[in-house]
Structure 1
Amino acid sequence: MTTPPPPPGYPPTAGMPTPASEPVAEWWRKDGPRIPAPAPGATVHTPVPIAAGGPAAPASMEAAAQAFWAPVGRILAEQVPHIAEQIGQQVTQLMTETEAQRSAREQVQYEAVRDAQRAVRDAQFAAAGESAAQRAERHRVENVLTPSHRRDDLVGMVDLLAERIGETPDERAARLDAERELDKRRARAREDAERAAAGETPEQRTRRHRQQRLADKRTASTRARRERRRAARTAGPSDRTRRFRRWCVLTAISAIGGCSTGLVTLIAPGGPYVGLLLAAGGWALDLHIRDRGRQRVSEVTRPGPLVLLVLVRIPVASGLAVAAGLDHVLAALSL
């Protein structure tokens, strides 16, 4: 390690003219400062420019900027895909969720914020010396004063009864859907907390949420289809007559198909019991195809599913034709 050079033995203004002899601007412009040469053997400190390099030279501006932005780029490369995925999930959720799902989600978020605030207050009151009984009483008062809390006394029961009596069937269905969604979201929030405590990674949680959304979509589609079928069953007699005629026409087409393929001729020697057995087996397959009978034959309207339904019901129609003794009639038609 080198020692710093000693200071010079003469003042830095040595040799400069005095203001009385010549103006400063004149001697600086003409001759410059007249500093005497150092004494022989004296150590002279020579400044080194920054760009000259050396062991103590600072890095260039490009290297300093690169070293500064390298951690930022690494953090952005790690966080930007996750942030973009979260934003995409939120946008998809806002675009596809129903009113009941949105209210349930907002209720769960509100309860999470309320529980966090209550935990902070509990810690502050515990530090001030609050007992367990006092904390329980404070929680009870807070629950009563909460706008979304229902009173558990006679007044609350009367209000609940009046609300249930006055609601319409649509309001009741919407309320039940909201309660169902709220319970499901609460259960999933608890499941997320438990799995996070067990060591679940964010990627695993995202994949599990995606699978849950797909399952919810399938469940909602099935529920909507069943609701449409239930509404169709409550139709008037004219609609029932139309559906019965449609069922007869489709069954007759399937029976003609069975006669054309030779299935009716094949089972005709067995008699009505063989026909009933074949009809029972075909009917079980037909029910399985039609969601265990939840979808009626008359409800199939699209060309592709209609052709598939006619082909699947060929054993049913052929067995019914043989059991009813219509195999001779179909054979006489020369199909």
Structure 2
Amino acid sequence: MTVPPPPPQPPTVGMPGSDPEPVAEWWRKDGPRIPAPVHPEPPVHTPVPVSAGGPATPASMEETAAAFWAPVGRILAEQVPAMAAQIGQQVTQLMTETEAQRSAREQVAYEARIAAERAERDALFAAAGESDAQRAERHRVEDVLTTGHRRDDLVGMVDLLASRINEAPEERAARLETERELDKQRRRAREDAELAAAGETPEQRTKRHRQQRLADKREAATKARRQRRRAARTASPSDRVLRFRRWCVLTAISAVGGYATGLVQITTPGGPMVGALLALFGWGLDTHLRDRGRLRVSEVRGARPLVLLVLVRIPVASGLAVACGLAPLLAATGHQLHIY
């Protein structure tokens, strides 16, 4: 508590009947007494008697060490299995994934990091008062300055046109195939990250990758087979004539088989319309079995595939024979063969 200083004169100065001169002197010398500060009394310590057993025995070094390392052991017991599983998953992934898969995974991780950094910058600039138009322009400049990004202005369009004009057909096909492969690997890397976040185990991921590799092998084999067929279709006219002749011979053999089994005789009373319907039904079945028409009749090779082809095409050939009115010709041919 702060006490204000005493006034230079007593409060009775100027009052009637007071003597100012002697009073002023003793007031300055023997003015009012300032009370001394009051200090709180110190607390009284009450001694506590020691029990009859004597002072407490200090803990041993082993107990102290055990009490110190108990939290550390609990933390290690919780973290070590997770760390070991994560390290094992990374080692398994590095041992099993291909170079393309590794590149795609690293690319996805890089894109995720760049997106996180951009989001952080957007938050900082938004707090500073950046507008939507300014943000869009800043993003465009960042994309142009990014290494490996194609410019979206006039210069980038001219460069793209120049590269496309000077590109050979083989180079274009190789580039498109490379882009499709990279896109597929990136999709799979994103799928791995999403499934890992959803709780997929390393065994499930390994099984899924094995199924994907088998599907890729089947797709590559189908693509190679279709390329060979496409190359065969661009052959010379003489090869086309040979293929037509082969088709005619195989169809005739199937028609004879249909006459031998009685399918032609059963369909003939119905007329050309019934024969056309039978040919249409047989053509749909035949096309479906020949990889939806990608495998031509003249491209079938081997004894067993040819026999199966002739048997499958019996409805087609029988329907064509009835629709075209060739049933009597087949009957005459069969009669001549029976005579001989």
The TM-score, its normalising length taken from structure 2, stands at 0.61
Which residue pairs with 1:318 in the alignment? 318
Which residue pairs with 2:202 in the alignment? 202
Question: Aligned ranges for residues 23-38 of structure 1 at < 5 Å?
Answer: none
Distance 1:83 1:189 in 2: 14
Judged with a 3 Å threshold, the aligned counterparts in structure 2 of structure 1 residues 279 and 84 are, in CA distance, closer, same or farther, namely farther
Question: Aligned ranges for residues 98-247 of structure 1 at < 5 Å?
Answer: 102=100, 105=101, 107-112=103-108, 114-115=110-111, 144=144, 146-247=146-247
Distance 1:328 1:260 in 2: 13
SS of equivalent to 2:203: helix
Which residue pairs with 1:332 in the alignment? 332
Q: State the Cα deviation string for residues 120-150 of structure 1 (Å, max 9, x = none).
A: 9889x98xx9757799999877754554222
Quote the offset at 1:194 in angstroms: 1.0
Distance 1:305 1:84 in 2: 47
Judged with a 3 Å threshold, the aligned counterparts in structure 2 of structure 1 residues 226 and 307 are, in CA distance, closer, same or farther, namely same
Contact 2:253-2:310 at 8 Å conserved across structures: yes
Judged with a 3 Å threshold, the aligned counterparts in structure 2 of structure 1 residues 88 and 242 are, in CA distance, closer, same or farther, namely farther
Residue identity matched to 1:108: A
Distance 1:119 1:316 in 2: 60
The question of 1:288 aligning with 2:276 is answered no
Distance 1:288 1:279 in 2: 14
Which residue pairs with 2:250 in the alignment? 250
Which residue pairs with 1:51 in the alignment? none
Distance 2:222 2:294 in 1: 10
Distance 2:302 2:95 in 1: 34
The worse-fitting range, judged by mean Cα deviation, of 106-115 and 194-203 is 106-115
Identity in percent: 67
Residue identity matched to 2:104: V
**RMSD value, Cα:** 3.6
Which residue pairs with 1:41 in the alignment? none
In structure 2, stretches of 5+ residues that fail to align are 1-84
Residue identity matched to 2:216: D
Which residue pairs with 2:262 in the alignment? 262
How many positions carry a matched residue from both structures? 247
Residue identity matched to 2:324: A
Quote the offset at 1:111 in angstroms: 2.1
Residue identity matched to 1:148: G
Residue identity matched to 2:149: H
Judged with a 3 Å threshold, the aligned counterparts in structure 2 of structure 1 residues 118 and 246 are, in CA distance, closer, same or farther, namely same
Q: State the Cα deviation string for residues 66-97 of structure 1 (Å, max 9, x = none).
A: xxxxxxxxxxxx99x9899767744xx57xxx
Judged with a 3 Å threshold, the aligned counterparts in structure 2 of structure 1 residues 323 and 135 are, in CA distance, closer, same or farther, namely closer
Contact 1:122-1:135 at 8 Å conserved across structures: no
The question of 1:297 aligning with 2:270 is answered no
Distance 1:315 1:122 in 2: 66
SS of equivalent to 1:333: helix
Distance 1:119 1:318 in 2: 65
Quote the offset at 1:245 in angstroms: 0.8
Contact 2:89-2:202 at 8 Å conserved across structures: no
Contact 1:255-1:317 at 8 Å conserved across structures: yes
Judged with a 3 Å threshold, the aligned counterparts in structure 2 of structure 1 residues 290 and 85 are, in CA distance, closer, same or farther, namely farther
Q: State the Cα deviation string for residues 170-194 of structure 1 (Å, max 9, x = none).
A: 1111111111111111111111111
Distance 2:117 2:242 in 1: 67
Distance 1:201 1:176 in 2: 34
The worse-fitting range, judged by mean Cα deviation, of 235-244 and 307-316 is 235-244
The TM-score, its normalising length taken from structure 1, stands at 0.62
Judged with a 3 Å threshold, the aligned counterparts in structure 2 of structure 1 residues 82 and 309 are, in CA distance, closer, same or farther, namely farther
Which residue pairs with 1:14 in the alignment? none
Quote the offset at 1:214 in angstroms: 2.1
